[in-house]
Amino acid sequence: MERTMTLATMKTALFYGARDLRMEETPIPHPKPGEVVIRVETALTCGTDLKTYVRGTHKMIPTLPSPFGHEYAGVIAEVGRGVTELEPGMPVVTANSAPCNQCYFCRLERHNLCENLRFLNGAYAEYVRVPKRIVRQNLYRVPPGVPFERIALLEPLACVVHGVERTGIAMDDRVAVIGAGPIGLMFVRLIKMTGADVIVLGRSPWKLDAARRYGADHVIDVTAGDPEKHVRELTDGRGVDVVIEAVGLPEIWERAINITRRGGTVNLFGGCRKGSEVRIDTHKLHYEEKRIMSVFHHPPRYVAMAFDILLRGEVDESVLISDHLPLERLADAFEKMERREALKIALTP
């Protein structure tokens, strides 16, 4: 069926709370000055959305019920007043936020920590309205021939580019990535591009195979034996130079710190449930000089880098996108991810 702008309503997924996702008919949005409305061609599921779906809340979802979904690409349907360089029919992709450039943190060049960061949700719908600030700073025109589902990886890849850049990985480092979900796998791919050696710890054999496809040098199935011992055996008992935690569970944060060598760096990248706490051996932390850091989200400069990486075809989307489903089956998509049977799922409205 042909979809046209004359339709007054559209299908939208609205998130009401834990495991409560409803497909509703809502009015097709129209852009305010400086905004655009994009017809979504592909939306991707995201581990953050899965966490929200299961936990019922997330920093990116301030009120309920909420539009949902933030990884997508599509075609401009309508442009608001004052938008001069874009027009209907253009294929585009956007990130899911943009900073204010005025607050204390923006002035510190820590744009991802912006006090006024507003998140775009609503990609799990036929149309999405994009705020002016994102149109200005984080919207990219997609050249012909680039598949929507590849370029829709822009936002998560920007987070990972940010993670890799901030961690500071040297070519001769040995890096452990814990977690073989989409974020862990993107870390594997980008870290291999730096030349470092990568060990991946995961629990699904088929996801560990995906890690191998992205160039992982060693994979460890954490369900078999003692994975921390296994890592020590691979590193002459020292532990790895750099660890990336891409799971988001307190016990895995503790494991990440444990397998880092003296003087090594651990990037606790996976966000845990609000109120979570971890136990840290303070003696080891101090006397072994472990550097513990966390990286959240992405400033626009890393979105730009991620866009270039995707245009160059350096991240094969077929490794990450394991399934395709119609948008109506969004809840099934999350259930499938939760059962560890899918990486990313591409949804078509």
**Residue ranges that bind Zn ion, judged by CB under 5 A:** 46, 48, 71, 99-100, 103, 106, 114, 116, 156
- Cβ proximity to Zn ion: between 102 and 276 the closer is 102
Cα separations (Å) of 191 from 24, 118, 142, 156?
41, 30, 25, 15
Tokens 């969004």 belong to 330
CA-closest candidate to residue 51, choices 18, 22, 93: 18
- Cβ proximity to Zn ion: between 278 and 325 the closer is 325
- Cβ proximity to Zn ion: between 105 and 147 the closer is 105
94, 11 contact by CB (below 8 A): no
Instruction: Give the three-class secondary structure for 303.
Output: helix
Amino acid at position 184, single letter: G
Provide the minimum distance between the beta carbon of 105 and Zn ion in the complex, in angstroms, as a whole number: 6
Provide the minimum distance between the beta carbon of 317 and Zn ion in the complex, in angstroms, as a whole number: 14
Provide the minimum distance between the beta carbon of 287 and Zn ion in the complex, in angstroms, as a whole number: 38
- Cβ proximity to Zn ion: between 70 and 261 the closer is 70
Would you give the DSSP letter of residue 183? Answer: H
First to last CA, the chain: 12
Tokens of 55: 């936990």
- Cβ proximity to Zn ion: between 160 and 259 the closer is 160
- Cβ proximity to Zn ion: between 67 and 99 the closer is 99
Q: Return all residues near 340 (Cβ < 8 A) that are at least 6 apart.
A: 203, 204, 207
Tokens of 279: 């136990």
Provide the minimum distance between the beta carbon of 29 and Zn ion in the complex, in angstroms, as a whole number: 21
Q: How far is CA 106 from the centre of its chain?
A: 22
Provide the minimum distance between the beta carbon of 288 and Zn ion in the complex, in angstroms, as a whole number: 34
Provide the minimum distance between the beta carbon of 304 and Zn ion in the complex, in angstroms, as a whole number: 18
